[in-house]
Amino acid sequence: MPLINEKLKSISCSEFRVFLKKLIKDKIEREWTANFIDNMNLVMIPRMTIKRRYENKGIDLIKLINSPSYYQRVKKNVNSRGSLEFKDR
């Protein structure tokens, strides 16, 4: 699901929902549920707010969407609170 450019606006709402649900399934997102994502109004909640939410957890959302290797690394190193944790820092 690569982005056309670095802006999060270029991904459609339905693709963004699918991506967020994938984060839940892969246990990267631990606070939200699939039902919450379905009911989320992506017009009222700016995507940059969601991006900043992940940045606060140490995760680059754009890179997470674009890079399969980064996605796998995050999946392997996310802690129980959904924050990125590297053991060999």
List the one residue out of 61, 50, 43, 45 whose CA is nearest residue 3: 61
Domain range for residue 19? 12-77
Specify the pLDDT at position 44.
86
In a domain, 86, yes or no: no
In a domain, 88, yes or no: no
> Using one digit for the tens of pLDDT, what is the confidence trace for 19-54?
999 999 999 999 999 999 999 998 888 888 999 999
> Using one digit for the tens of pLDDT, what is the confidence trace for 9-20?
778 888 999 999
Residue with tokens 């940059």: 48
Specify the pLDDT at position 85.
81
In a domain, 19, yes or no: yes
Say how far apart CA 28 and CA 6 lie, in whole Å.
21
In a domain, 85, yes or no: no
In a domain, 83, yes or no: no
pTM more than 0.85: no
Say how far apart CA 31 and CA 43 lie, in whole Å.
21
Specify the pLDDT at position 1.
45
Say how far apart CA 6 and CA 81 lie, in whole Å.
27
